[in-house]
Amino acid sequence: QITLKESGPTLVKPTQTLTLTCTFSGFSLSTSGVGVGWIRQPPGKALEWLALIYWNDDKRYSPSLKSRLTITKDTSKNQVVLTMTNMDPVDTATYYCAHRRRDRSGFDYWGQGTLVTVSS
């Protein structure tokens, strides 16, 4: 059974750096073809993909946010960490991590999401 769970601060101040951790179980990020991505959703709005890391440490980023994002993995801890610098109120959103297989187009397992509010 695959599960993922996001953790991190619920409130950050403008200009601060956000660090979110995705802790997962039921799969290994050392298995060929497996990836974990981050997707966010501002309140009442659509989904936006942020970043993805694969089993082989291949990392991909949204071009519009690439300069602010870093994704890393700790295979021994079954964790993926996303950092986003220079947070702004427009970054207020629910942040999800999700599992995908490289041979399929979708994210098949999602965490419950964590709401991050950016406010002074």
Partner 1 sequence: EIVLTQSPATLSLSPGERATLSCGASQSVSSSYLAWYQQKPGLAPRLLIYDASSRATGIPDRFSGSGSGTDFTLTISRLEPEDFAVYYCQQYGSSPLFTFGPGTKVDIK
Site residues for partner 1 per CB under 8 A: 37, 39, 46-49, 52, 60, 62-64, 96, 98, 104-108, 110-113
Minimum distance from CB of 45 to partner 1 (Å)? 9
**In this complex, which beta carbon is closest to partner 1, that of residue 25 or of residue 112?**
112
Minimum distance from CB of 70 to partner 1 (Å)? 16
Do 29 and 52 contact (CB within 8 A), yes or no?
no
Do 47 and 41 contact (CB within 8 A), yes or no?
yes
Q: Give the span between the Cα atoms of 95 and 108, in whole angstroms.
A: 16
**In this complex, which beta carbon is closest to partner 1, that of residue 67 or of residue 120?**
67
Q: Give the span between the Cα atoms of 112 and 3, in whole angstroms.
A: 9
Measured between alpha carbons, how far is residue 57 from residues 13, 40, 65, 74 in Å?
30, 22, 19, 10
Minimum distance from CB of 110 to partner 1 (Å)? 4
**In this complex, which beta carbon is closest to partner 1, that of residue 91 or of residue 111?**
111
